[in-house]
Amino acid sequence: MSDEEWEVPEAFQPEPSEYAFPLEERLASVLALKSLVPPDASSAATLGVEREGSGVWIESSGLVLTIGYLIMEAETVWLTAQDGRVVEATPIGVDFESGFGLLQALGRMPGLPVAPLGDSDSLTFGAGCVLAAAGGRSHALACTVAARQPFAGYWEYLLENAIFTAPAHPHWGGAGLFGPDGRLCGIGSLILQQGQRGGKRLDLNMVVPIAELLPVLETLRRTGGSGRPPRPWLGLYATEEEEAVGVGSLAKGGPAERAGLRPRDRILAVDGRAVTDLASLWQAVRAAGPAGAELRLTVARGDRQMELRVTSADRRRHLRTPRLH
């Protein structure tokens, strides 16, 4: 997709005179990101082998913050600044709990503005923000915080206090969310569609708050992981159904597949705890303990009901690790 195809309409672009911080500097800290992933990587089938998005320059040493799925298992990453300078980078860590990814640029970019990290907890409903992808003002969107609430994803992901912004940015992956004070408050992850009265649809971006990064930043930089006990991973992609959660697909060789779970199974309970939606499923899985914990799944398969025991695993061990670690 070319820049012109996803350019933000001029009426929704931020106007520098309306902000008390140097808007153009903040926009210049957002870089275009392109990553190449080997075809045999575990995530290649679902996320592709060529991934494009944005990343934010957060330290003059070349540390770049993005969303983890853009760089997961990547072997080659290129960053392009607004002024056209290009530098190669290497992934140094992905925090699967928050979804953040860290990169280290392998070359210098003198004079590139650094985006200061902000206080995402201070962003409440109605706060005015700028969600910026790489490419300057024509790729930035003036938006507001539409909600602060939990978000559960089908890929074994649960965020307790996600940021939702509207209107939605057309190129959200890795985009930087700058708060009213101009500081970086989050990184764009998804676009969601919410139904409204009268059949209208509201598109929102889900943004991962920077508060999820601050406690683990140094450990993530140093080791490639958060340092927290790894969450239990089952290797399943779930779908919400009426009063149950369905199994959409399974990670090849993952714990759920090895335990005998199949696509189109319905998960009714975990360790006796009823499951009705994605959030309740991942909460019940987490309650079993860290990776390695055994879980008892109550499963419906057609007209049959059965119990399967799954020994959870550390998701990182199923993926290629960053080269620097």
Residue in 36, 40, 66 with CA at minimum distance from that of residue 50: 36
**Mean of pLDDT over the chain:** 93
248-257, 299-308, 312-321: lowest mean pLDDT where? 312-321
pLDDT digits (tens, 9 = 90+) for 10-37: 999 999 999 999 999 999 999 999 999 9
Q: What is the pLDDT of residue 3?
A: 44
Q: What is the pLDDT of residue 181?
A: 97
- Over residues 47-57, the mean pLDDT reads 97
Distance CA 53, CA 185 (A): 18
Q: What is the pLDDT of residue 2?
A: 42
Give me the amino acid identity at 203: D
The domain segmentation of the chain, as residue ranges, is 19-114, 120-212, 236-318
Distance of CA 94 to the CA centre of its chain: 10
Do the first three CATH levels of 19-114 and 236-318 match, i.e. the same topology?
Answer: no
Class of domain 19-114: mainly beta
Does position 134 have pLDDT exceeding 80, yes or no? yes
- List Cα–Cα distances, 62 to 110, 202, 246, 250, in angstroms: 10, 37, 42, 37
Beta bridge partners of 145: 165
Beta 201-209 vs 236-241: how paired, if at all?
unpaired
Q: What is the pLDDT of residue 198?
A: 62
Q: What is the pLDDT of residue 244?
A: 82
CATH number of 120-212: 2.40.10.10
The confidence band for 247, taking pLDDT boundaries of 50, 70 and 90, is: very high
Q: What is the pLDDT of residue 1?
A: 39
Q: What is the pTM of this model?
A: 0.93
The confidence band for 200, taking pLDDT boundaries of 50, 70 and 90, is: confident
- Over residues 116-120, the mean pLDDT reads 98
Q: What is the pLDDT of residue 325?
A: 45
Does position 234 have pLDDT exceeding 50, yes or no? yes
3-state secondary structure the chain: CCHHHHCCCHHHCCCHHHCCCCHHHHHHCEEEEEEECCCCCCCHHHHCCEEEEEEEECCCCCEEEEEHHHCCCCCEEEEECCCCCEEEEEEEEECCCCCEEEEEECCCCCCCCCCCECCHHHCCCCCEEEEECCCCHHHEEEEEEEEEEEEEECCCEEEEEEEEEECCCCCCCCCEEECCCCCEEEEEEEEEEEECHHHCEEEEEEEEEHHHCCCCHHHHHHHCCCCCCCCCECCEEEEEECCEEEEEEECCCCHHHHCCCCCCCEEEEECCEECCCHHHHHHHHHHCCCCCCEEEEEEEECCEEEEEEEECECHHHHCCCCCCC
Superfamily for 236-318?
A: PDZ domain (2.30.42.10)
pLDDT digits (tens, 9 = 90+) for 94-117: 999 999 999 999 999 999 999 999
Higher-pLDDT residue of 118, 325: 118
Beta bridge partners of 236: 250
Residue in 96, 90, 49, 47 with CA at minimum distance from that of residue 68: 96
Q: What is the pLDDT of residue 274?
A: 94
116-120, 180-184, 195-199: lowest mean pLDDT where? 195-199
Residue in 313, 320, 317 with CA at minimum distance from that of residue 156: 313
